[in-house]
Homo-oligomer: A and B are copies of this chain.
Amino acid sequence: MTEAEIDAKLAELGITLPAPAAPVAAYVPVVIAGGLAYVSGQLPFVGGALVTGRLGEGVSLEQGTEAARACGIMILAQLQAALGSLARVERIVKLGAFVNSTDDFTDQPKVVNGASELMVGVFGDAGKHARSAVGVPVLPLGAAVEVDAIVAIRAD
């Protein structure tokens, strides 16, 4: 897709990419190796505030899905900053998703669809990815969801 097409898709979906979040520790947001961009685990910021809490108690399925989508939007923001343009995305290859969950909450797949549907919404077939989604008892800073990514990129 061209940059103009991607910008149009983002606008259509009502997405304004935020400033990419600084890493919360001693690492970098994106490393490129062998034609793949490895994106660090991204936390969910909605309106600039971190979405915290646990699915199955304080956080509803709808809020969790929105949080996963926010992780996905931050992945896009990191990719745009690292690649210069999202037009260099050839394929979203893999998302790794961790959902802050009580031990009886089993709808991680629905939650993580917030990120997955975003990728397909923005990139179409090139947004269709492999995925793992699991529950965890706690995440950095109390975040509700964390998602990392592997993305195939075009040489520019």
Contacts and interface: CB of A to CB of B under 8 A. Distances in A.
A148 to B, nearest CB: 4
Interface of A: 23-31, 33-36, 38-41, 54, 91, 93-96, 98, 101-110, 112-113, 116-117, 120, 128-142, 146, 148, 150, 152
A128 B27 contact: yes
A143 B146 CA distance: 20
A136 B139 contact: no
Nearest to A116: B26
Contact of A132 (B96, B107, B113): B96
Candidate in A27, A35, A101, A128 with the most chain B CB atoms within 10 angstroms: A27
B27 A108 contact: no
A108 B23 CA distance: 13
B94 A38 contact: yes
A22 to B, nearest CB: 12
Contacts of A108: 138-140
A23 B128 CA distance: 12
B140 A27 contact: no
Q: Which of A26, A38, A103, A116 has the most CB of B within 10 A?
A: A26
A130 B25 contact: no
Nearest to A133: B140
